[in-house]
Structure 1
Amino acid sequence: MYKRKIDVFIKSHFQKMNLMLLLYGARQVGKTTLLQRIFPNAVFLLVDNESIRQKLEEYDIYQYQEWLPKNTKQILIDEIHLLSNPGRAAKIIFDHMTKTQIIITGSSSLHIKNQASESMAGRFVSYQLFPLTFEEYVEQKDYRKSHKTDIIDRILLQKKEPLNKPLLFLKNDVLSNVLLFGGYPQLIKTPANIKYLKEYVETMLFKDIIELNLIDNRVAAKLLLKLLAHQIGNLIDYTELSRRVGVDQRTVRRYIEIFEESYILYRLYPFSKRERNVITRTPKIYFYDLGVRNAIIDNFSPIQQRGDMGAMFENFIISEFIKANAYKQDRYHFYYWRPKIGAEVDLVLTKDDKITGIEIKYQKLGESRAFRNRYKEAAFFQVTKDNFY
């Protein structure tokens, strides 16, 4: 089985601490596969299984000890968010089975936070698994046997590969495939599988949201998600979305938060040091996976024929930075910059006192001077299809 970038932190978790390990991520990004590979001897409890769910919802340590194998060293509770009170079940096991290592997955951080913030407080450390990075995709396709440096190393730190070997694949072809079909692990075995992506959107994408009763108007939610998918890289106009969906702005904001906490999309907020020359405080919208996004709008036209090619590449690059930052635990914060005068900068990264501007263009163009003139101390890079990998 292939390794993931996050492996090193998951493997060393219990060597460093005795807290529960909680792995978040959308359904089918590979959470269970990864954890069963790293913890092959853990007792596996799938909450999607009704009998397992009923047993866990007894919330009684004596009942747990009756049906769990004796001397259980590790327990893997898969999709714990489906419990009515996920934090209570985890807390009971953690507090009473002190020699047992507890590993948990969840596809809805919103439900876990709402239901478990108090009971699990101070008892867990969370990690997030995303769809495949470009490096992971290349590795799993067997194009190259070892991982290259990630996008933060290559662009921000300007690190070079120790061996400058030629690529064993056509980079632009692989990029086009990822932009169209995304990075869900299932697509390694069945590439360009539009049927899989469409079925995922129709069944799995809303599965937890509906089962957990997080949304009361499914028709409005699906329409809102489709409108957002058409607007990647654009400012969110809550008023216009409210008008087109037919619900109030508060509902629009709540649904977007649910989509975000379910790892479907994310918002990027403007960078500002409380400056008057920043034109907006409104966030932009992006999707964690472009294959899912393209399935939502039902458009798998070739990249070169699309009017949204630039927006898709921008979405892809920003997501690659977010994944690398999470996997490396690098502590970067992400924004965009949009002044009243001058061209905007697609991505701004801050860490401690350092500021870095990233201009994202599918093809190399002249660089914007506005950001560099405003923040003379900042580093600045342009990322294109030619230098991102």
Structure 2
Amino acid sequence: MYSRLIKPPEDKSFFLFGPRGTGKTTWVKATFPGAVYLDLLEAELFNDLLADPQRLEKFIPKGLSDWIIIDEVQKIPELLNEVHRLIEKYKHRFVLTGSSARKLRRKGQNLLAGRALTFALHQLTALELGNDFDLSRSLKFGQLPSVYIEKDPKAYLESYVKTYLEEEIRQEGLTRNLGAFSRFLEAASFSQGSVLNIAAIARECAVERKVVENYFSILEDLLIAYKIPVFAKKAKRRMAAHPKFYLFDVGLYRTIRPMGPLDRPEETDGVALETLLFQELNAINDYYKLGHKIFYWRTASNLEVDFVLYGEKGIKAFEIKRTGKVNSSMLKGLKAFLMDYPSASAYFIYGGERRMRDGEVDIIPLAEVFRELPKILDRHPQR
């Protein structure tokens, strides 16, 4: 098991959300070895607590001072009322894991009204992988923990997608038409790293626009996709209006995105690299509690920056390319951004070996940047 960057609270209950396969169960069992562990995927336990959530107390030894783990808590949202009662009455500490907060909120639950913190577990980061980090492998299969363990990561990822379609979507009753949802997933994969055009996807899938909007909401609620808004704070130019879309992991994107004889590898390789940077930025920002919000920047004249992180620690702009050489046209978007936001820090990440600087743009090799992300994101601008 890889050591994870997430740091749990010492004395307060918390939710741990994350997509399936990110290692939530493995982590909680390793981190809280003496805890009472209740897995709602176990049919007998599930049926028992579904019939009467107050039975939860009988599974907790009297006088327990250790933690109580409830795995897949979203399967019985009504349990939160009982968890709330047990926290108030006995000061019990709970770890509540789930792959979605959608059902909890839909049932009107208040996520314990401040009595529990909320954490996220992401796929592995390059820092967590350490010497095992293999850029080529990550760009092909992503960084879900099993991808770095399984002998056949491609087969694992195909099973992962099938599991989501058949288990998560169907069992949660999120859509009645799995065929249409499957077609939507494939169509959506062509929008990876691109500005969303929901009307075009609806036409491609032969369904109504509202259905596609609901499908995107399902992906977000299950934490397997993100919409990244355009950065338009105090904008000096006319900006793009729609968000960009990312499936949360490179491997998931590669598995869903169909490839045929007319598809060129470079069409997906660049998107995969951009996705890997996004998932690393997202995880590091979360684990280190840096407080950035993630955006992209694109003007109506198509000047673009892949990612803009904005928060109390400043504005940080990132552009990433696989190329081994840098030319001035590649830096055009970053330099235009710096003209509009001169207090920002700008980083161009590329496949070469030399660290350089072009004006106010730091040029960093791919081999170095993932190890340095915590420092880069935590650094206040020096201007």
TM-score range, shorter chain: 0.7 to 0.9
Amino acid in the other structure paired with 1:263: L
Distance (whole Å) between structure 2 residues aligned to residue 103 and residue 193 of structure 1? 30
Q: Are residues 339 and 60 of structure 1, via their aligned partners in 2, closer, same or farther at CA, if it must alter by over 3 Å?
A: closer
1:266 Cα deviation from its structure 2 partner = 0.8
Query: Shift in Å at residue 206 of structure 1?
Result: 4.8
Query: Kindly tell me: are residues 230 and 340 of structure 1, through their superposed partners in 2, closer, same or farther at Cα, counting changes over 3 Å?
Result: closer
> Measured at CA, do residues 329 and 119 of structure 1 come closer, stay the same or move farther in structure 2, by a change above 3 Å?
closer
Q: Deviations over 1:334-382 (max 9, x none)?
A: 1111112352111111113722221121224331132122222222111
Please say if residues 233 and 314 of structure 1, whose CA atoms lie closer than 8 Å, have aligned partners that are also in contact. yes
Q: Distance in 1 between matches of 2:109 and 2:71?
A: 18
Alpha-carbon offset, residue 209 of structure 1: 2.4
After superposition, where does 1:207-218 map in structure 2 within 5 Å? Answer: 207-218=167-178
Is 1:362 aligned to 2:292, yes or no? no
Residues 20-31 of structure 1: pairs in structure 2 closer than 5 A: 20-31=13-24
**What amino acid does structure 1 have at the position aligned with 2:346?**
F
2:77, 2:109 within 8 Å by CA — same for their partners in 1? Answer: no
Residue 4 (1) aligns with residue 1 (2): no
Whether contact under 8 Å (2:317, 2:346) holds in the other structure is yes
Q: In the alignment, residue 351 of structure 1 is paired with which amino acid?
A: G
Matched, 1:311 2:304: no
Query: Residue 374 of structure 2 corresponds to which residue in structure 1?
Result: none
Partner of 1:53: 46
Distance in 1 separating the partners of 2:16 and 2:308: 27
**Residue in structure 2 matched with residue 165 of structure 1 by the alignment:** none
**8 A Cα contact 1:197 1:291, kept in partner:** yes
Partner of 2:10: 14
Any residues of structure 2 matched to 1:152-163 within 5 Å, and which? none
Task: Choose from 24, 31, 43 the match for 1:38.
Answer: 31
Distance 1:304 1:219 in 2: 27
Report what 1:82 is aligned to.
Answer: 75
Quickly say closer, same or farther: Cα 1:251–1:257, change in 2 above 3 A: same
- Match of residue 161 from structure 1: none
**Shift of residue 136 of structure 1?**
1.8
Give the CA deviation at 1:298: 4.7
- TM-score normalized with structure 2 length: 0.84
**Sequence identity of aligned pairs in percent?**
26
Q: What secondary structure does 2:112 align onto?
A: coil
Distance in 2 between residues matched to 1:124 and 1:385, nearest whole Å: 43
Please give the TM-score of this superposition, normalised by the length of structure 1: 0.83
Pair 1:58–1:95, CA change in 2 (3 A): farther
SS at the partner of 1:279? coil
1:58 Cα deviation after fit: 4.2
Q: Distance in 2 between matches of 1:225 and 1:65?
A: 41
CA distance, structure 2, for counterparts of residue 126 and residue 361 of structure 1: 34
Q: CA deviation at 1:60?
A: 5.0
Question: Does the residue aligned with 2:114 lie in a helix, a strand or coil?
Answer: coil
* Pairwise CA distance, 1:279: 3.0
Alignment-mate amino acid for residue 266 of structure 1: Y
Residue 171 of structure 1 aligns with which residue?
none
Which residue in the other structure is 2:347 paired with? Answer: 381
Structure 1 pair 54–176 and aligned structure 2 pair: CA distance change class (3 A): same
1:109 CA drift (Å): 1.8
Rounded to whole Å, the distance in 2 between the matches of 1:205 and 1:332 is 32
How far the C-alpha of 1:113 sits from its partner, in A, is 2.4
Distance (whole Å) between structure 1 residues aligned to residue 268 and residue 77 of structure 2: 41
CA 1:116–1:28 in 2, change beyond 3 Å: closer, same or farther?
A: farther
Deviates most, 76-85 or 50-59: 50-59
User: Does the Cα contact within 8 Å between 2:15 and 2:119 map onto a contact in 1?
Assistant: yes
| Aligned: 1:273 with 2:233 | yes
Deviations 1:136-178 (A, max 9, x none): 2235x3x7xxxxxxxxxxxxxxxxxxxxxxxxxxxxxx21110
| Residue aligning to 2:61 | 69
Structure 1 Cα separation of the partners of residues 111 and 124 of structure 2: 32
Q: Distance in 2 between matches of 1:248 and 1:383?
A: 40
* Aligned partner letter, 2:213: R
Q: Matches of 2:45 and 2:351 in 1, distance apart?
A: 47
The residue type equivalent to 1:92 in the other structure is R
Q: Report the secondary structure of 1:266's partner residue.
A: strand
**Which residue of structure 2 aligns with residue 219 of structure 1?**
179
SS at match of 1:121: helix
Name the SS for the 2:291 alignment partner. Answer: coil
Distance 1:205 1:41, change over 3 A: farther
Alignment counterpart, residue 264 of structure 1, candidates 224, 247, 250: 224
Deviates more, 1:49-58 or 1:274-283: 274-283
Aligned length: 347
Three-state SS of the structure 2 residue aligned to 1:138 is helix
Give, in whole Å, the separation in 1 of the partners of 2:305 and 2:33: 45
1:138 counterpart residue number: 130
The verdict on how the C-alpha distance between 1:287 and 1:52 changes in structure 2, with shifts beyond 3 A counting, is same
SS in 2 for 1:308: helix
- Secondary structure at the counterpart of residue 97 of structure 2: strand
Quote the Cα distance in structure 2 between the aligned partners of 1:361 and 1:86: 47
Corresponding residue SS for 1:239: helix
Asked if the contact 1:87–1:116 (Cα under 8 Å) also holds between the matched residues in 2, the reply is no
Structure 2: which amino acid aligns with 1:375?
Answer: Y
Name stretches of at least 5 consecutive residues in structure 2 with no aligned partner: 353-364, 369-383
